[in-house]
Amino acid sequence: MQTSELLQSYLVDANTWDEMYKDASVREQYKKAVEFLQQLSIEELNKKEELAKKLFMSQGITFTVYSSGEGIEKIFPFDIIPRIITSSEWDYIEKGIRQRLKALNLFLKDIYSNQFILKDGIIPTEMIYSCPHYLREMYNFPVPYDIYVHISGIDLIRNSDGTFYILEDNLRTPSGVSYMLENREITKRIFPDLLPNNAVRSVTEYPNILYRNLVSLSPRQIKNPTIVLLTPGIYNSAYFEHTTLARLMGVELVQGSDLVVDDHKVYMKTTTGLQQVDVIYRRVDDEFLDPLVFNPGSMLGVAGIMSAYRKGNVAIVNALGNGVADDKAIYTFVPAMIRYYLNEEPILKNVPTYHLDRPEEREHVFNNIESMVIKKTNESGGYGMLMGSAASSEEIIKYKGEVLQNPREFIAQPIISLSSSPCYMNGKLQPRRVDLRPYALFGPDGIEIVPGGLTRVALREGSLVVNSSQGGGSKDTWVLG
Amino acid sequence: MLSRVADSLFWMSRYVERADGILRMLKINYASSQDDVQEFSWRPVLKIFTYLEDDKIAMLQHNTRGVLIYMVTDKENPNSVLNIVTQARENARSVQDHITKEMWQCLNDFYHTVRDEKLAPLLLKEDPITILDILIKQGLVYVGTTDVTMARGEGNSFINIGKFLERAIQTTDILDVKFSVLNARDIDAPSDTTYWKYMLLSISGYELYLRTYRGGFEAKNVVEQIVLSEDFPRSVIYSVNQLHRYFERLRGDRNNAAFDHLNFIIGKLKSRIKFSTPVSIMHEGLHQYLYETRAGLVEIGNTLTKNYFS
C-alpha cells in the first residue's frame, strides 16, 4: 500500500504494540478503513472532525464545568479514527471477561456469607476487613439470583507484545457506556457506509439487554414493574449518560429527593400520588445511598432505602459493597480466586502488582521507582497516583513518606506501555496510547457482553494516562464480524 | 409522572414562552423606535420585563442598543433572553427522558445560539431585527417540534399549561403597562395610531384588529381583542381556555381532590373573563380588572405547584 501524506509522520514507538501497524505495514483489520481515509483530503477530514464536534455540542453530549459562577459546556474529546478489534481478539477478550466476572461475583457472594476463601487461607482476612468498601451491612443478606455485579466495565490494556492485561475491575457504578453508544452514532454520521462495508458488529442492543435484566430482578412479580435510574442530579459530570440510558430504556430518571421510603417500601412522588418502585439502577455511590446507614450528610440518597433493600422489597443494581472486589489490593488475588472458585487457569492476565505493606516488595518498588507506577487502592480516575518515570525527586520523596504512613493503601505496578492506535491530529495520523473498557451485563440468564466498548485515548503525545479527568479522550470501538 | 418532572416541564415551557414574548416585544419596539418623531422611550418594556429601579430605567430608556444588550445578552439581568433560555434548557436537561430528543436538541441549539459571544457585538452594530428574528425562529422551531413530536400525555398537558399560563400573564402585563403609560395622555386620541399599531404588532394582533374593526383605533376595541377575543391566540380568554382544556386532561382516578380544587379556581377565573364586556371592564377600571385577572392567574400557578409539583 502507498504511504500517503496521511500516514507519513506515523512513527510507532519501538517498544509499543500498535493497533494499526505491524512492521511498517497496515494490519489486515485496518486496511479497508485506511484505504477509505486515504481517499479523503485533509480539508474533508477536517470537516468531518468539525461535524463530529458540532454533533456532540448540539445533542448536548457535554459536561458542564462550573467556574466563576457560570457553567461552561465541554465535550469529551472524540477522535474520529475508530479503534478496530478483530473477531478472534474479541472472542478471547469475551471469554476472559466472562471467566473473571464469574469468579468475582462468586467472591462477593462468598465474602458476604460463608467466607470460605478466607477460611481456606487464599486471601488474608485482614485484607478484607481493612478495606473501607467492605460493608458489614451486606453480610448474610442474600441478593436476588446471587448476582452482585449486574454491570461492570473491566479495563484492559495491551503490552508491547500485544498481550491483553486486566488493568482494573470496575464493579461499582462504571460509567462511559453512553459514549460507546454515542461514538458509534457519530461514526454513522461522519463516515456514511463505512460501518456496513467493514461488517462492524452492532452495539445497540446494550440498553435492551440491561432493561430485560432489570425487569427480571423485580421483587413483585407484576406485568410492568416500576424501574428507575437514580442519578445524583444534573450537576454530576455523568448526567448526560444517566439521561441517555433512562431514555433508551424508557425508565424513569429519578433523584434522591423524588423517592421516599414507607414501611420498608420505596415510592416515587408523582403528580397522582406515591407509586411503588421495584428496581433501582443507581448511579449514586454506596456511601451516599442511605443517610441513615452510611454518610448522614448525604442529600443524594434516600433515607431508609437500605432497610427496604434488605427486606427484599426493592432490587438495587449494582449491589452494595462491591468495592471490596475491585479494590486495587484485592485485585492481585483475582487469579487465585479464578483457580479457587472455578478450578480454571485465568485467561486474561493481571498486571504484576506489588503490595506496599509487604516490606520486601516495598523495598523492591522503592529501588526501581523510575519504572513503577504507584496507586492508591481506593482511588480511581487517575487521581492520587505517582508515575515514577515522570515524577521529580521531591515528588518521589514526598510520596514515599505518604506510602510509609499507610502502606495498605498503596500498590505499585511496573509501568506498562499501553498499545497505540492512530488518531487524527493536525491533518495527519499519529499514534496515541489507548485502553479498552468493554461492558458486561450479568442477569439471571447469564453474562452478556455487547461487542465493543469504550476505547479511551491519551491525547497528549507520549502520555500513558487515558482518564478523562487527565486529558484523555475516546474513540469509537469496532469489533469486526 | 414524577412531580419534579411535571414541575420542570411546566417551567421549561413557561421560560420558552417568556423568551418568545420578550423577543417579539423587542423587535417591534425597535421598529417603532425607528418610526418615532419624538424620542422613543423603552420605559414600558423595561417596566414589564425587568426588575430595574425607576432611576435605572430613566438612565437606560433612550439608549436603544443598551436596552437590547441588557434584555438579550446581559448575564446580570435575570430576565435577559440569555438567562431565560438557559433556565428553559436547564429544566429540559433534567427531564430529557420525558421530552423528545428533537425538542431537547432545539432547546440546546437555542441555548448555544443565544450564548454565542458574537451576538452582543452584532446587536450593537448590525441590524437588530435580523438578530432578533434568528432568535425568534429558534423558539418557533421548538414550538413546532413540540407539536409534531411530543406524545399527547400528561407531560404534554403540563407543557401547554405552562405555556398558556405564561402567555396570559404576559398579555395582561403588556396591556396594563401600555395603558398606564397612556393615562397621562388622552386614551381615545384617534390620532395616536402608531402607538396602538406597534403594541398590536408586538403581540401579532395588528392584522386581526384591522380586519375586525377597520375604522381606526379605539381603546375599547383594543381591550376587547386583547382580553376577550376567543379567536386571537394571545388574548387572555384564549390562553385561559387553552389552559383549562389541557388541565382537564389531567383528570384521573387518583388525586381527585387536588384536581377538583384547581378546576374550580380555573373555572371561576374563566367565567369572570367570559362574562365581561369592554364596557363593563372600562366601568370597573381597566387596571383594577387586569390586576384581579393577574392575581387569579398567579393563584392557578401557586395551586399547581402545591397540588402537583411537590
Shared domain for A228 and A292, answered yes or no, is yes
Shared domain for B135 and B17, answered yes or no, is yes
Is the minimum CB–CB distance between A61 and chain B shorter than 8 Å? Answer: no
Q: Which of residues B103, B126, B150 is at a domain's end?
A: B150
CA–CA dist A330, A134 (Å, integer): 11
Residue in chain A lying closest to B255 (CA): A272
Residues 174-233 of chain A with CB under 8 A from chain B are 233
* Residue in B75, B108, B154 closest to A271 by CB: B154
Residue A470 in any domain: the answer is no
C-alpha to C-alpha distances, A127 to A141, A331, A332, nearest whole angstrom:
21, 11, 11
Cβ(A228)–Cβ(B97) below 8 Å = no
Please tell me the distance in Å from A252's CA to the nearest CA on chain B.
8
* CATH number of the domain that residue A375 is part of: 3.30.1490.270
Residue B121 in any domain: the answer is yes
Shared domain for B4 and B91, answered yes or no, is yes
Shared domain for A239 and A294, answered yes or no, is yes
ipTM of the complex as predicted: 0.74
Range of the domain at B257: 163-310
Q: Does B255 contact A268 at a Cβ distance shorter than 8 Å?
A: no
Q: Which of residues A282, A313, A344 is at a domain's end?
A: A313
Is the minimum CB–CB distance between A345 and chain B shorter than 8 Å? Answer: no
Residue A337 in any domain: the answer is no
Residue B216 DSSP code:
-
Residue A397 in any domain: the answer is yes
Give the mutation candidate from B5, B76, B97 for the A interface (greatest A CB count, under 10 A).
B97
Tell me which chain A residues have a C-beta less than 8 angstroms from the C-beta of B75: 70
Q: What are phi and psi of B94, to 5 degrees?
A: -85, -5
Give the mutation candidate from A271, A274, A283 for the B interface (greatest B CB count, under 10 A).
A271
Tell me: pLDDT of A137 over 90: yes
Contacts of A267 (CB under 8 A, 6+ apart): A259, A260, A261, A274, A275, A276, A277
**pLDDT, tens digit (0-9, with 9 covering 90-100), for A290-346:** 999 999 988 899 999 999 999 999 999 999 999 999 988 899 999 999 999 999 999
pLDDT of residue A1: 43
pLDDT of residue A24: 81
Shared domain for B94 and B1, answered yes or no, is yes
* Residue in A243, A268, A273 closest to B97 by CB: A243
Read off the pLDDT band of A478 (50, 70, 90): very high
* CATH number of the domain that residue A225 is part of: 3.40.50.11290
CA A313 to chain centre: 29
Q: Which of residues A398, A414, A430 is at a domain's end?
A: A414
Query: What total of structural domains would you count in chain A?
Result: 2
Residue A306 in any domain: the answer is yes
Query: What total of structural domains would you count in chain B?
Result: 2
**pLDDT, tens digit (0-9, with 9 covering 90-100), for A54-97:** 998 888 887 766 665 666 777 889 999 999 999 999 999 999 99
Give the mutation candidate from A75, A243, A272 for the B interface (greatest B CB count, under 10 A).
A272
Range of the domain at A404: 353-414
* Residue in B2, B104, B250 closest to A254 by CB: B2
pLDDT of residue A2: 47
3-state secondary structure chain A: CCCCHHHHCCCCCCCCCECCEECCEECHHHHHHHHHHHCCCHHHHHHHHHHHHHHHHHCCCCEEEEECCEEEEECCCEEEEEEEECHHHHHHHHHHHHHHHHHHHHHHHHHCCCCHHHHCCCCCHHHHHCCCCCCHHHCCCCCHHHCCCCEEEEEEEECCCCCEEEEEEECCCCCCHHHHHHHHHHHHHHCCCHHHHCCECCCCCHHHHHHHHHHHCCCCCCCCCCEEEECCCCCCCCHHHHHHHHHHHCCEEECHHHEEEECCEEEEEECCEEEECCEEEECCCHHHHCCCCCCCCCCCCCCCHHHHHHCCCCEEECCCCCHHHHCCCHHHHHHHHHHHHHCCCCCCEECCCEECCCHHHHHHHHHCHHHEEEEECCCCCCCCCEECCCCCHHHHHHHHHHHHHCHHHEEEEECCCCCEEEEEECCEEEEEEECEECEEEEECCEEEECCCCEEEEECCCCCCCCCHHHCEEEEEEEEEC
Shared domain for B32 and B119, answered yes or no, is yes
Pairing of strands A279-282, A315-317: parallel
Residue B155 in any domain: the answer is no
pLDDT of residue A72: 72
pLDDT of residue A339: 97
> Could you tell me what percent of chain A has a pLDDT over 90?
71
Is the minimum CB–CB distance between A270 and chain B shorter than 8 Å? Answer: yes
Shared domain for B172 and B309, answered yes or no, is yes
Q: Does A270 contact B97 at a Cβ distance shorter than 8 Å?
A: no
C-alpha to C-alpha distances, B243 to A375, B159, B167, B293, nearest whole angstrom:
59, 10, 10, 14
Shared domain for B94 and B47, answered yes or no, is yes
Is the minimum CB–CB distance between A252 and chain B shorter than 8 Å? Answer: yes
Q: Which of residues B125, B150, B175 is at a domain's end?
A: B150
* The Cα angle at residue A406 between residues A402 and A408, in degrees rounded to 5: 125
Shared domain for A286 and A368, answered yes or no, is no
Q: Which of residues B150, B180, B200 is at a domain's end?
A: B150
**Edge-to-edge strands, sheet with A227-230:** A252-254, A227-230, A279-282, A315-317
Shared domain for B5 and B146, answered yes or no, is yes
Tell me which chain B residues have a C-beta less than 8 angstroms from the C-beta of A251: 97
Fill in the amino acid letter for A255.
Answer: Q
Q: Does A272 contact B75 at a Cβ distance shorter than 8 Å?
A: no
Give the mutation candidate from B3, B83, B103 for the A interface (greatest A CB count, under 10 A).
B3
Tell me which chain B residues have a C-beta less than 8 angstroms from the C-beta of A73: 112
**pLDDT, tens digit (0-9, with 9 covering 90-100), for A395-436:** 899 999 999 998 888 899 998 889 999 999 988 899 999 999
Cβ(A178)–Cβ(A281) below 8 Å = no
Mean pLDDT of chain A: 91
Residue B241 in any domain: the answer is yes
Residue B156 in any domain: the answer is no
Q: Does B97 contact A271 at a Cβ distance shorter than 8 Å?
A: no
Q: Which of residues A414, A433, A448 is at a domain's end?
A: A414
pLDDT of residue A427: 87
Shared domain for A228 and A305, answered yes or no, is yes
CA–CA dist B84, B270 (Å, integer): 28
Residue B256 in any domain: the answer is yes
Residues 315-334 of chain A with CB under 8 A from chain B are none
Shared domain for B109 and B210, answered yes or no, is no
CA–CA dist A435, A458 (Å, integer): 9
C-alpha to C-alpha distances, B163 to A70, A458, B157, B177, B247, nearest whole angstrom:
27, 47, 10, 21, 12
Fill in the amino acid letter for A204.
Answer: T
Is the minimum CB–CB distance between A72 and chain B shorter than 8 Å? Answer: no
| Residues of chain B in Cβ contact (below 8 Å) with chain A | 1-4, 6, 75, 90, 93-97, 101, 104-105, 108-109, 112, 154, 250, 252, 254-255, 308-309
- Averages of pLDDT over runs of 10 residues in chain B (310 residues) are 95 97 89 77 88 92 93 94 96 92 94 92 91 94 96 95 97 85 55 76 89 84 94 96 96 85 96 94 91 96 92
Contacts of A73 (CB under 8 A, 6+ apart): A57, A62, A63, A64, B112
CA–CA dist A241, A176 (Å, integer): 7
Is the minimum CB–CB distance between A247 and chain B shorter than 8 Å? Answer: yes
Shared domain for B96 and B173, answered yes or no, is no
CA–CA dist A273, B3 (Å, integer): 9
Tell me: pLDDT of A17 over 90: yes
Shared domain for B203 and B170, answered yes or no, is yes
